[in-house]
Amino acid sequence: MCESIWLGSRQMGVRNSILAQRCRRLVTTTARILGLVIWMSSGIATAQPGRPVLIATIKTERSSPPIRFSPDGKTLTIATGMLVGAGAPSPIGKVPDTLAPGGLTLWDVTTKKVRAQLENVGVDCTGIAFSPDGKYLAMLDRAGISLFEPASRKYRVFVPIADLDSSPVPEFAIAFSPNGSLLATGHSSGNVKIWDVTTGKLTATMRVKGMASDLVFFPDGKTLAAAAEAVYLWDLEGGEKPRSWAEHRFGAATLAISPDGKTLATPGDSKEVWLWNVQKGSIRQRLGVDYKMVEAVAYSRDGRVLIAAGGNGNLPGLTLNPGIVTLWDTKTDKMLHSFRALDVTVRKVALSPDGKLLAVSPLDHLLKVNVWDISQLLPKESPTKK
């Protein structure tokens, strides 16, 4: 229509050049928008300078599913299995027969497609962790502590639920030691247990105040840290007394250790991420964010990037508070980027080993996991002077 007006104005000698110029710009802009829509509908997504790119949205059968990349970076594992409806039969210590499709979803990083959906594996799973060599995927599920072998797809119960603290799904945090010989689990009762992966025997039990919601081994394997009403650290070789940092007013929901073992990152009380000096046991830096709830933190494998994610919480039936991801350069503690990663608050994150892909899982009200290419957000190395 505007093009006709413009052409007609020239033919009739209309002097209103301003109208002609505006219509010409409108026609050009419309064409560009139509071209963009066609490009987007083709499913092509490429990394743009300085911007994250959404490369996949994976549907799930539950909100807030545990997510992890395999150590080789080839697979994203999502624990999506859950009971169908309230009151579905589930004898303690046994995997129930009635499940939602796909207990584990295996997403292929190369093809960017779901490679497999495995049923009867990881039912009602609250946490997953890969062994460093990728041989095992440990799960906290309805059967207890279970081990899944991705190569053979074998599944077995490592520690039956009857041998754990009495609760249908008692454990909430899980982590392998760096050498893969130990497995730590955290309980809602405040128990933190360490298991020998080879024998399946319990080797140690520690206590925290509140629920042990996250666990991490230090890179040297000598220290275990737990997030609860405070941050707890244990010297696994027995050389030092247990330590706790109780500055959190509402407790620490999660934590991450830098690859050099010198800095521990936790959510702050509000709109902050706290960086702890491990040796001194004090906060060395407070990084601000634009959202109230920091639900997840993670370091890249090389330690160059710190990631935090969260939002402002969600209201039932509403998705008015988007989930935000923020990245910092750890050399300068300067923010690299902050972007909307989900339509609701982000609860969990998983970073690929090369640091280029980021998967985000929602707090609630949303049955999907988004996978982002964040390669263009990473800090650039300065050219080496010869």
342 vs 74: CA distance, rounded Å: 23
Q: Which residue has the tokens 């309805």?
A: 142
pLDDT exceeds 90 at position 122: no
**Which pLDDT value is given to residue 124?**
81
Based on C-alpha coordinates, what's the Rg of the chain?
24
Closest CA to 160 of 175, 145, 182, 148: 145
- Exposed (0-12), middle (13-18) or buried (19+): which is 291, by Cβ within 10 Å? buried
Half-sphere exposure of 339 (CA within 13 A, CB side): 17
**Which pLDDT value is given to residue 366?**
80
pLDDT band at 15 (very low <50, low <70, confident <90, very high): very low
List all residues 6 or more positions away from 150 whose beta carbon is below 8 Å from its beta carbon: 70, 75, 77, 106, 134, 137
- Residue 169 sits in a domain whose CATH number is 2.130.10.10
Q: How far is C-alpha 156 from the chain's CA centre? A: 25
214 and 226 in contact (C-beta within 8 Å)?
yes
DSSP string, 333-358: TEEEEEEEEESS-EEEEEE-TTS-EE
**Which pLDDT value is given to residue 286?**
96
282 vs 109: CA distance, rounded Å: 39
Calculate mean pLDDT across residues 223-235.
95
Q: Which two tokens stand for residue 210?
A: 């509140």
220 or 162, greater pLDDT: 220
pLDDT band at 63 (very low <50, low <70, confident <90, very high): confident
Domains of the chain: total:
2
**Which pLDDT value is given to residue 207?**
93
Residues 99 and 11 in one domain: no
DSSP string, 5-37: HHHHHHHTT---HHHHHHHHHHHHHHHHHHHHH
Residues 302 and 373 in one domain: yes
Residues 225 and 134 in one domain: yes
Residues 21 and 58 in one domain: no
101 vs 322: CA distance, rounded Å: 28
In a domain, 42, yes or no: no
Residues 27 and 125 in one domain: no
Name which of 170-174, 310-314, 320-324, 376-380 the model is least confident about.
Answer: 170-174
Number of Cβ atoms within 10 Å of the Cβ of 355: 21
**Which pLDDT value is given to residue 95?**
41
Residues 110 and 220 in one domain: yes
Calculate mean pLDDT across residues 331-348.
95
pLDDT band at 270 (very low <50, low <70, confident <90, very high): confident
Pairing of strands 368-373, 357-362: antiparallel
**Which pLDDT value is given to residue 86?**
36
Residues 249 and 280 in one domain: yes
In a domain, 385, yes or no: no
pLDDT band at 81 (very low <50, low <70, confident <90, very high): low
Closest CA to 125 of 162, 91, 100, 89: 100
pLDDT exceeds 50 at position 22: no
pLDDT band at 89 (very low <50, low <70, confident <90, very high): very low
217 vs 223: CA distance, rounded Å: 6
pTM value is: 0.82
**Which pLDDT value is given to residue 117?**
87
Residues 162 and 23 in one domain: no
Q: Which two tokens stand for residue 181?
A: 């010989």
Q: Which residue type does 249 have?
A: R
Return the bridge partners of 330, or none.
none
Q: Is 70 left (phi over 0), alpha (psi -120 to 50) or beta?
A: beta
Task: Classify 51 as helix, strand or coil.
Answer: coil
Task: Classify 2 as helix, strand or coil.
Answer: helix
371 or 99, greater pLDDT: 371
164 and 186 in contact (C-beta within 8 Å)?
no
Calculate mean pLDDT across residues 77-85.
70
104 vs 60: CA distance, rounded Å: 10
For 64-97, b/e burial (b = at least 16 CB within 10 A) is bbbbbbbeebbbbbbbbbbbeeeeeebeeeebbe
Domain residues for the domain of 32 are 2-37
Calculate mean pLDDT across residues 238-261.
89
Average pLDDT, the chain: 81
5 or 46, greater pLDDT: 46
In a domain, 43, yes or no: no
In a domain, 209, yes or no: yes
Half-sphere exposure of 180 (CA within 13 A, CB side): 12
In a domain, 384, yes or no: no
Q: Which residue type does 219 have?
A: P
pLDDT band at 189 (very low <50, low <70, confident <90, very high): confident
pLDDT exceeds 60 at position 102: no
37 or 115, greater pLDDT: 115
Residues 202 and 300 in one domain: yes
Name which of 92-106, 112-126, 153-167, 301-315 the model is least confident about.
Answer: 92-106
Q: How far is C-alpha 28 from the chain's CA centre? A: 41
Distance from the first to the final alpha carbon of the chain? 61
168 vs 144: CA distance, rounded Å: 9
**Which pLDDT value is given to residue 320?**
64
pLDDT band at 384 (very low <50, low <70, confident <90, very high): very low
249 or 354, greater pLDDT: 354
Calculate mean pLDDT across residues 218-239.
94
